[in-house]
Chain A
């Protein structure tokens, strides 16, 4: 059984069919690129998968369970987490608090235990404090743990958002243009980091990238959409030589 499978997924905004007949299969530990020109519907696919938008048709199966209609936070708890195209951090909070937020649903102490600071509170808070630091270390950000998120350089903010998404302990991580706004060197490093994350955490990653050259290097499978419809699926080699894909990109 695939980790994630969509069946004829689609959504209309008024008259506009932003995404339609969207069928995709993601296996455990797979790294898949989702590419397509601007406005093709990539972010909309993420919003559908994460429950931000309710699809007008089709279904989404996560480990065989249809998750259509579930709330975004429920879907996170079931194992899909994401980053945003326009970074969404808790800007005024520290870097480490940003990460700690994402452990919330894995923690157990009750409101009363938190208010009374029972031993369980200290134990769990200590645990997630260390876990958050460990995660930041992976991204070479432990020195920034107490910096305010909004004061980080752009590239670090992107990394923090990925770290935060990982903290939710996903089975599938959705990254929306994580390299946007980065210079080529930063982008290169990021792509390596993404590869590393996949291997280290043994998770599947669906990566949106506007620039198709970038994903070719690291993804084993690529899905290309244009005007909300999948126009090609295959290995980077296959995609490179696909006439429709070349057309969509040249026609842009």
Chain B
């Protein structure tokens, strides 16, 4: 029982430590509001990348429309906030949940036709979906069309992003290490074998995919209430690809990989702001180098583990590697 608790204690300490450090750096002004924005972007990108990892890394279904779900979440939550008047934190939580639910519903609607079949239909369908969503938003009145959606209350703060990111990552992590997560992984490994051991693969495919969409919607909601302005152009195909690049770079099937890659790929463009025209070029080169030297991504399918770093006997019940 004791050794079961140890990883929890270590990870809880690590999370609180990170939080306190960041808060201190902000209060002392070492992290100014510009850097704070980067930290918030990192959090949102972690949410987007880990959720896409659930669909692409763990379930094994290539999805090319994650920005579409993000957009649905962003607009739905922004509209929600504009129509309600709750206390700030509660409003943010209600709005992003509604954004997530909308995105999740679209995930189910797309997942049902695309995932009932075996094979890579999802890539094509999500690709089309992402573009359709963008065009629809561009032409709707309630979303502000091409002028964008303005005047969203700035409800997203460092605190809310930090803790929501932590919660989402933890949910995905514990899910993946439960029987339901095993079922999801089995589909990636061999869908026919998965069915042959009694797993309802269609159900788990749709579940994992729509949960990924739900979290992407929440990411979008946080984004909306941080930037306060939404422009349909920022949810295009390239955004989906950027999220995918984070996942591939970090390792398909590694949450810690996605986190590390999200940090790197959020900071890097800021450092290279002068070269912003070449951002996609830099990404591409990075990817090519990666594919040559480390095709499985930074961490492959393994997780970076503090517990292991401190040489604590791993709990056999974990899928520890």
> Is A167 in contact with B190, judged by CB distance below 8 angstroms?
no
Residues in chain B near residue A105, CB distance under 8 A: 198-199
- 30 residue pairs A–B, Cβ–Cβ below 8 Å: A71-B200, A72-B196, A73-B195, A73-B199, A73-B200, A73-B201, A76-B196, A76-B197, A88-B192, A88-B193, A89-B190, A91-B189, A92-B301, A97-B319, A100-B182, A101-B199, A104-B182, A104-B183, A104-B198, A105-B198, A109-B178, A114-B180, A115-B171, A115-B175, A116-B174, A117-B174, A121-B178, A124-B179, A125-B179, A167-B197
Q: How far does the alpha carbon of A238 sit from the alpha carbon of B316 in the complex, in Å?
A: 52
Nearest B residue to A148, CB-CB: B321
Known: A92-B189, A97-B319. 14 other contacts (CB 8 A): A73-B199, A73-B200, A76-B198, A77-B198, A84-B193, A88-B193, A88-B196, A89-B193, A90-B193, A101-B182, A111-B175, A114-B174, A115-B175, A124-B179
How many residues of chain B are within 8 Å of chain A by beta carbon? 29
Which residues of chain B are near A116, meaning CB under 8 Å?
A: 174
The interface of chain A, by Cβ under 8 A from chain B, is: 50, 52, 71-73, 76-77, 81-82, 84, 88-94, 97, 100-105, 107, 109, 111, 114-117, 121-122, 124-126, 129, 164-165, 167-168
Contacts of B197 in A (CB 8 A): 76, 81, 101-102, 104, 164-165, 167-168
B178–A115 CB distance below 8 A: yes
Given the complex of chains A and B, what is the CA–CA distance between A97 and B195 in angstroms?
15
* Bound form: Cα–Cα A109–B174 in Å: 13
B179 and A109 within 8 A (CB): yes
Cross-chain contact B181 with A114 (CB below 8 angstroms): yes
Q: Please name the residue on chain B nearest to A100 by beta carbon.
A: B182
Complex CA gap A122/B315 in Å reads 12
Partner of A90, one of B175, B181, B189, B195: B189
Q: Which residues on A sit within 8 Å (CB–CB) of B193?
A: 84, 88-90
- Give the Cβ gap from B5 to chain A, nearest Cβ, in Å: 11
The yes or no answer to B185 lying at the interface (CB within 8 A) is: yes
With both beta carbons as reference points, the residue of chain A lying nearest to B319 in the complex is identified as A97
B317, CB-defined interface residue at 8 Å:
yes
Whether the Cβ atoms of B198 and A73 lie closer than 8 Å is yes
Total CB contacts across the A-B interface at under 8 A:
100
Q: Mark B161-203, 1 if CB is under 8 A from A, else 0.
A: 0000000000100110011111101100110111111111100
List B contacts of A72 (CB < 8 A). 195-196
- A101–B179 Cα distance when bound, in Å, is 8
Contact A126 B185 (CB under 8 A): no
Complex Cα distance A101/B198, Å?
9
Q: How far is the CB of A79 from chain B (nearest CB, A)?
A: 10
Whether the Cβ atoms of A129 and B181 lie closer than 8 Å is: no
User: In the complex, what's the smallest C-beta–C-beta distance from B174 to chain A, in angstroms?
Assistant: 5
Q: Are A129 and B317 CB-contacts (below 8 A) given A89-B190, A102-B198?
A: yes
Contacts of A109 in B (CB 8 A): 178-179
Query: How far does the alpha carbon of A94 sit from the alpha carbon of B182 in the complex, in Å?
Result: 12
Nearest CB on A from B51, distance (A): 14
A92, A109, A167 — most chain B CB neighbours (10 Å): A92
Say whether B317 contacts A90, CB under 8 Å. Answer: no
| Chain A, Cβ-Cβ closest to B193 | A88
Asked, given contacts A72-B196, A90-B190, whether A101 binds B183 with beta carbons under 8 Å apart, the answer is: yes
- Measured in the bound complex, the distance between the Cα atoms of B197 and A103 in whole Å is 8
Chain B residues with CB under 8 Å of A94's CB are: 319
Chain A minimum-CB-distance residue to B192: A88
Contacts of B174 in A (CB 8 A): 114-117
Nearest first, the 10 closest Cβ-Cβ pairs linking A and B are: A114-B178, A90-B189, A76-B198, A88-B193, A102-B197, A105-B198, A72-B195, A115-B174, A73-B195, A101-B186
CA distance A160 to B305 in the complex (A): 29
